[in-house]
Chain A
Amino acid sequence: EDQVTQSPEALRLQEGESSSLNCSYTVSGLRGLFWYRQDPGKGPEFLFTLYSAGEEKEKERLKATLTKKESFLHITAPKPEDSATYLCAVRKNTGGFKTIFGAGTRLFVKA
């Protein structure tokens, strides 16, 4: 069965304290792994798409990496405004466009 598992469920960091979020997946026919940020009461906001093992993408303090079984979202020197839920999602090779989301990691960054 296709699964996307994110860990930890919640993460509390001090401002400037770097860390990583994990997304492990079991999906047949991966057609892309996505990272989104979601603020309370809002829709997910796109961050990155990764397609193949070894690929890396960066945006400001965020860097996403991909292996054959998992992806990491590295947060370097986070600021309070980085506090949000970070969602991982995978798209299958089904011919359609179904995307399976993980439950997310709630990140709290304290000043």
Chain B
Amino acid sequence: EPEVTQTPSHQVTQMGQEVILRCVPISNHLYFYWYRQILGQKVEFLVSFYNNEISEKSEIFDDQFSVERPDGSNFTLKIRSTKLEDSAMYFCASSGDPTGAYGYTFGSGTRLTVV
């Protein structure tokens, strides 16, 4: 069964450093998303991406965040200057249609720890 692959599974970084989280969505999917889940809290929407541009972003997704699809297979989330409160599990997801009829396929996540 097709999977969304995320790397690394766990990243520890110093406050103020830049991090790039990587995702390989399902190959024939066109809609891509990043979500985060702080330990013990809800899954929160960050951004959606379609046709090489951001479709929608949440209030969390400020100027410190950016997304990119640098080639035909990868989808990345960059945090420019990490803060302690950025520590969370970050999930990438993809879908093949805009309606969500078949839901989103999520990756297993990258656990980001900012120290």
Residues from chain B with a CB closer than 8 A to the CB of A47 are 103
Q: Which interface class (under 10, 10 to 19, 20 to 34, 35 or more) fits B?
A: 20 to 34
- Evaluate contact between A99 and B106: CB separation under 8 angstroms: no
B106 touches A44 (CB 8 A): yes
A4: nearest chain-B partner, CB-CB: B42
B102 & A45 in contact (Cβ 8 Å cutoff): no
| A45 CB → nearest B CB, Å | 7
B107 touches A43 (CB 8 A): yes
The answer on a CB contact under 8 Å between B100 and A49 is yes
Docked Cα-Cα span, A43 to B58, in Å, equals 20
Mark out the residues of chain B between 71 and 115 whose CB falls within 8 Å of any chain A CB in the assembled complex. 91, 93, 98-109
6 shortest A-B CB distances, which residue pairs?
Answer: A96-B56, A46-B103, A43-B106, A97-B48, A101-B43, A96-B55
Q: B residues near A, CB below 8 A?
A: 4, 31, 33, 35, 41-45, 48, 50, 55-56, 58, 91, 93, 98-109
| Chain A positions near chain B (C-beta within 8 angstroms) | 31-32, 34, 36, 41-49, 87, 89, 91, 94-104
